[in-house]
Copies of this chain bind each other. A is one copy, B any other.
Amino acid sequence: MSVLIVGSTALDSIKTPKAENPRLLGGSASHAAVAASFFAPVKLIGVVGEDFPKKYVQLYKKHGIDLEGLQMVPGKTFQWSGEYEVNMNNRRTLATELGVFETFTPVLPPAQRSTPFVLLANIAPSLQSHVLDQMKRPKFVAADTMDLWLNIAMGDLLQLLKRIDLFVLNDSEARQLAQTDNVFVALKKIHQLGPRYVIIKKGEHGSILSSAAGLFIAPAYPLAKVIDPTGAGDSFVGGMMGYLTSAKGSVDSNLRRAMIYGAVAAAFCCEGFGVNRTTKIARADIEKRVKELEKMTKF
């Protein structure tokens, strides 16, 4: 089984109180694809410009990521720059240059249209829907989002929610979407919009899954040092969908453990700039932390 991942592929410039790093490999699809690649074959759908460094193409390939659906077109790769405050929780965008992303239309290679697992990582919901239009009866579809789309593309997002199995969003987005302060009330309202499974990401406080089987409260992996949290949420959904794609049995019986794998992938992401740390680990490093989380949550 393999997983198809669509999202943004970008060059990120990230400033923290301690360092500044230009032109890192970034974007929701890059983080998600690298995290998923530890578990299952990944097919990446995205777009980059002529300036996209060859070393990043090599990095994707090193992770066995299928690049047939990665368009390389004239123009500049999507660039984002942001800055973190001292506590690493508050981030502000310094600049966004869409480049080739502005006219991006995802096109799925024919051979990929029947991929069983689909992760619609964070991009405009109309593009996420456009990917689904090209798919043949996928087994399981998950979508991530961001506050921007709640502000400027709510109609598109509501259309998308009727077509997916799992919706992933963070706690402030959930409150905004459901117009309530309480995340458990929000979960119920979001189910009514379509998805059978809803996951609320709470960063360092873990995540919560809601489904017909009830709630699952998942921890975050504890980190004494956070270098750069950019892409942690994307790594979470990537790791989770990668594990889910690889696991035998029903989604219902695997999703909880998949979230733990996602939490570990997110933690590794936070320990380096861009994908610097995530691309230097092995599956065994992930397994070790999953076992640690098992110990840390048993009672």
Contacts and interface: CB of A to CB of B under 8 A. Distances in A.
Nearest to A87: B181
A270 to B, nearest CB: 12
Interface string A15-55: 00000000000000000000000000000000000000000
Given A214-B295, A216-B296, A296-B214, A181 B256 contact: no
B184 A222 contact: yes
Contact of A223 (B184, B216, B223, B296): B184
Please indicate which of the listed interface residues A182, A185, A256, A294 has the most CB atoms of chain B within 10 Å of its own CB.
Answer: A182
A299 B217 CA distance: 10
A32 B30 CA distance: 49
Nearest to A184: B224
B88 A181 contact: yes
Contacts of A299: 216, 218, 256-257, 259-260, 294, 297
Contacts of A256: 298-299
A298 B255 CA distance: 12
A154 interface: no
Number of copies: 2
A287 to B, nearest CB: 14
A225 B182 contact: yes
Interface residues of A, number: 34
Contact of A215 (B184, B208, B216, B296): B296
Interface in A194-216: 202, 205-206, 208, 214-216
Interface string A243-287: 000000000000011011000000000000000000000000000
A219 B222 contact: no
A86 interface: yes
B214 A217 contact: no
Contact of A222 (B217, B225, B297): B217
Interface of A: 86-88, 181-182, 184-185, 188, 202, 205-206, 208, 214-219, 222-226, 256-257, 259-260, 293-299
Q: Which 9 A-B pairs have the closest CB atoms?
A: A256-B299, A205-B205, A217-B219, A184-B224, A87-B181, A215-B296, A257-B299, A217-B296, A184-B222
Given A208-B222, A217-B293, 5 more contacts: A88-B181, A182-B226, A185-B225, A217-B219, A257-B299
